[in-house]
Amino acid sequence: MRDVSIIGIGQVPVAEHWDKSLRDLAVQATRNAMKDAGIHTADSLYVTNMLSGVYAGQEHLGALIADFAGLRGIEALKIEAACGSGGAGLVLGYMAVASGLRDFVIVTGVEKMTDTVRAKTTTGLATAADADYESDHGVSFVALNALVLQRYMYEFKVERERLANFAINGHRNAVTNPNALLRFPITREAYLESPMVAEPLTLLDCCPTGDGSAAVVLAPRERAHEFTQKPVHIRASAIATDAIALHDRKRLLQLAAAQMSSQKAYKQAGVGPQDIDIFEVHDAFTSMACVSLEACGFAEPGCGWTLAEEGHIALDGKLPIQTMGGLKARGHPVGTTGLYQIVELTQQLRGEAGKNQVKDARLGMAQSVGGSGATIVTHILEADA
């Protein structure tokens, strides 16, 4: 087994790309990443995506994107783990290079969620839940997360407004990220008055979906400096799972898979939560950010929100999160979000995050979540020495 580094990154802005197809977006991000790495071909392309079959009547994205990105012939396939697809794809890309069987692997995530004629957004997202026991009975994806927050508020006697800073922080950081979808700040008042979506989750507790694509190029660490002055090294790459349906979980508020997956990652990297300089959290909902912080050991159970309330999650706080806007404001094109996190973390660890730069960031963690918490992927990245 050998060490693996990220030698190139690419992305397109998260937006409503009415003028671009799924393939356009993926090709653009892939080519951007290849250009950044200075490579003209690769051994493999792993595409991560959740909903192209349901929304666009298009499966078989591996061969499709490889061909149009100028990579015809190479190994290509698609990896899916609901909204955790991006993270899951990186795990396999990492293993491919670590094994010594592949040298250069591109992992490209893509999701096209506007301009889809075959299914509604909500119908698509519901496929991340248990079709037989959850979604077919009418529980939407927001509703599932609302149930979790209801219980959280009851169990820990916390009011919804304690989560306000998760939304505010994401929006604040998105303003200076040219690839973010919602580039405007929001006030605490706006959060408090936000219309209800599924009680107690309001519009400003929920992240927006969108169209997007993000890509990384992986190479063996010993060759990384041939391609870039600033490789970023993958120190840990771990997946854990839990029951897909909420009612099948042993505990509703503990995010067991986040706990397991972060513990595996800490162990692999030989670090603990106190060593992490940045945490790109999967803030699909403010409540998800809150319980993730707890599950990963950054806060005690019932206290994740205190990190937000006390300002620790800001760019100059002790644990910056959502540094480029997070899912809340950069946007959440579901099957590729995990790769936006990795691209952004790479920008931070290279010192190329512009106005969003976290000072002296050396070790970053990103977590990609599938469904209401059934698949959780954790990566730990390190800046070059």
What CA–CA distance (Å, rounded) separates 30 from 71? 10
The reply on whether position 303 binds its own copies by CB under 8 A is no
- Tell me which stretch binds its own copies (CB under 8 A): 223-231, 253-261, 293-301, 354-362: 253-261
Give the nearest distance from C-beta 344 to its own copies in angstroms. Answer: 22
| Distant-in-sequence, close-in-space partners of 377: CB < 8 Å, separation ≥ 6 | 81, 84, 87, 88, 90, 91, 237, 238, 239, 261, 338, 367, 368, 369, 370
- Tell me which stretch binds its own copies (CB under 8 A): 123-131, 171-179, 191-199, 301-309: 123-131
Give the nearest distance from C-beta 318 to its own copies in angstroms. Answer: 31
The reply on whether position 203 binds its own copies by CB under 8 A is no
Of 106, 164, 201, 239, the residue at the interface with its own copies (CB under 8 A) is: 239
Torsion angle of alpha carbons 274, 369, 333, 180, nearest 10°? -10
Which residue is associated with the tokens 């037989």? Answer: 132
Nearer to its own copies, 101 or 192 (CB): 101
Of residues 37 through 56, those in contact with its own copies by CB under 8 A are 44, 50-51, 53-54, 56
| Residues 133, 245 contacting (CB under 8 angstroms) | yes
Out of 83, 206, 207, 290, which one is annotated catalytic? 83
What CA–CA distance (Å, rounded) separates 128 from 293? 22
Site string for its own copies, 17-36 (x = CB under 8 A): ----x-x-------------
Nearer to its own copies, 146 or 377 (CB): 377
Out of 233, 312, 332, 379, which one is annotated catalytic? 332
Amino acid at 18: W
Token reading at 203: 């519009």
Of 38, 41, 59, 185, the residue at the interface with its own copies (CB under 8 A) is: 59
Nearer to its own copies, 35 or 72 (CB): 72
Of 16, 31, 39, 95, the residue at the interface with its own copies (CB under 8 A) is: 95
C-alpha triplet 123, 241, 131: angle, nearest 5°: 25
If you count them, how many residues does the chain have? 385
The reply on whether position 100 binds its own copies by CB under 8 A is yes
Give the nearest distance from C-beta 66 to its own copies in angstroms. Answer: 5
What CA–CA distance (Å, rounded) separates 126 from 138? 9
What CA–CA distance (Å, rounded) separates 127 from 109? 18
The reply on whether position 252 binds its own copies by CB under 8 A is no
What CA–CA distance (Å, rounded) separates 351 from 374? 33
Distance, CA of 74 to chain centre: 26
Distance, CA of 338 to chain centre: 3
Nearer to its own copies, 67 or 309 (CB): 67
Residue 332 known to be catalytic: yes
User: What Å distances lie between residue 28 and 68, 108, 116, 147, 207, CA to CA?
Assistant: 10, 10, 20, 38, 24
The reply on whether position 136 binds its own copies by CB under 8 A is yes
Rounded to 5 degrees, what are φ and ψ at 369?
Answer: -115, 130
What residues line the site for its own copies (CB under 8 A)? 1, 21, 23, 44, 50-51, 53-54, 56-64, 66-67, 72-82, 88, 91-92, 95-96, 98-102, 123, 126-132, 135-136, 238-244, 248, 256-257, 260, 370-371, 374-375
Positions marked catalytic = 83, 332
